[in-house]
Amino acid sequence: MQYYTRALENLLKMSKCGRKKVILLFGARQCGKTTLFKHIIKTDKCVNINLQDRVLRRRYEADEGLLIRELRAIEGNSVIFIDKVQKVPDLLDDIQLLYDENPEKYQFYLTGSSARKLKHDSANLLPGRSHHYVLSPVMQVEQRKAIILSIDFLSTESRFPIRSLDNYLLYGNLPGYYGEDINSWKETLKTYADLYLENEIRQENIVGNMGAFARFLKIAAMDAGQVINYSKMASVVGVAVNTLRNFYQVLEDTFVGIRIRSFSSNRKRITAAPRFIFFDIGVRHILADLPLNPEILRIDGGHIFEQWVLAELYYRCLYHGPGYNLSTWRTKTGVEVDAVVETPDRVIPIEIKWTDKPHPHDARHVEKFITEHSYKCDRGFVVCRTPINQQLTERVTALPWNIF
């Protein structure tokens, strides 16, 4: 199968420079974590441990210290790849012990699709010994050049093929699509939803009431992109507010949900409730039980487009690291900017519009934001379906969806 370059490769290769660190790669199911590591690991002497294998998993659960004894028996330096480490969180303690004994002997690569059990069951996530990353679905910046928080690619690298906007908005951008026939994509998404509930939630005993969580999941997907009203949602799902908050935390811990908090330099004048989106718009549609046909774009294209752009910006911020954040801005008087990209040097307000004919009027809230935050903001954007850039005002530019 054709391998396409992931943006995260550069960061992972940098982690290998200098003193060795344990490389821990998180991300939702089917984002390509295992494929990426297998591409990066350039040795035939790698020890592969796949904890999805029940028999193998039970061996490590039943025999405390087994991993330590096995790895100590290896002569010379070794590369160790442990897939789905959240299945046996206690192995992190063993890895820490081995690392502390001889940091140069082992190069550990670990993947995890849930941070919940690791945070709850493990004493730590190897502080000072590890580099943590999160792998996204395929980003637009992995397919083409971009203006906002671009990522450099070498010209010789193989990028994922470009698809139409409607195709992205219907099916999302899981990397596995690029090795499948398009006629199988709907089934791939349906299977994803079933496996998420069964493997990530039920088998791991993450929530006690699976019925309530399944109801919540559908409603949360339907309401994705909106400001969260915890009391109203809890009443609809039939659970306590604290339980509902825990459900949202489960989505974040399993990297399926993204919480977008409010931006403010004056907390008295903003709406503080966060917005919540899903990591992939196609997965969101399936969880919400929506039909994967163009009709949903005719009915709700603007709402879907907004979520898609927000997820893209979130992952770009995550890739660029500390000091980069995505937030949203809404004042008590109803002035709203869909996305605010925060960088170490400035902030960038972004309005997201479904229109293909942007007008200066579409820039009014971005202009308001720039005026109120002129000490760290001097320009903004409207991301929409315009075919070419347009200068809407002196400080606000409309960008096409395929170059933003």
Torsion sign across C-alpha atoms 6, 8, 10, 16: negative
pLDDT at residue 2, as a whole number: 84
- C-alpha span between 216 and 213 (Å, rounded): 5
Residue 108's DSSP bridge partners are: 80
Residues 46, 80: contact at Cβ < 8 Å? yes
- pLDDT tens for each residue of 25-68: 999 999 999 999 988 887 778 999 999 999 999 999 999 999 99
Q: What is the largest CA-CA distance in the chain?
A: 69
Does the pLDDT of residue 84 top 80, yes or no?
A: yes
Domains of the chain plus CATH, in order, are: 8-135 (3.40.50.300)
Residue 325's DSSP bridge partners are: 342
pLDDT at residue 205, as a whole number: 63
Q: Who wins on pLDDT, 18 or 348?
A: 348
- pLDDT tens for each residue of 212-260: 999 999 999 999 999 899 999 999 999 999 999 999 999 999 999 999 9
- C-alpha span between 135 and 6 (Å, rounded): 9
E strand intervals along 72-136: 78-83, 106-112, 130-134
CA distances from residue 75 to 189, 213, 326 in whole angstroms, order as listed:
44, 48, 46
Torsion sign across C-alpha atoms 151, 161, 173, 9: negative
pLDDT at residue 103, as a whole number: 87
Does the pLDDT of residue 15 top 70, yes or no?
A: no
What is the rounded average pLDDT for all residues in the chain?
Answer: 90
Does the pLDDT of residue 269 top 80, yes or no?
A: no
Backbone torsions φ then ψ of 101, nearest 5 degrees: -65, -40
CA distances from residue 143 to 152, 153, 166, 308, 326 in whole angstroms, order as listed:
11, 10, 16, 15, 21
HSE-up (13 A, CA, CB side) for residue 106: 27
HSE-up (13 A, CA, CB side) for residue 297: 16
**Prediction pTM value:** 0.93
Pairing, β 380-384 against β 347-352: parallel
- C-alpha span between 360 and 382 (Å, rounded): 10
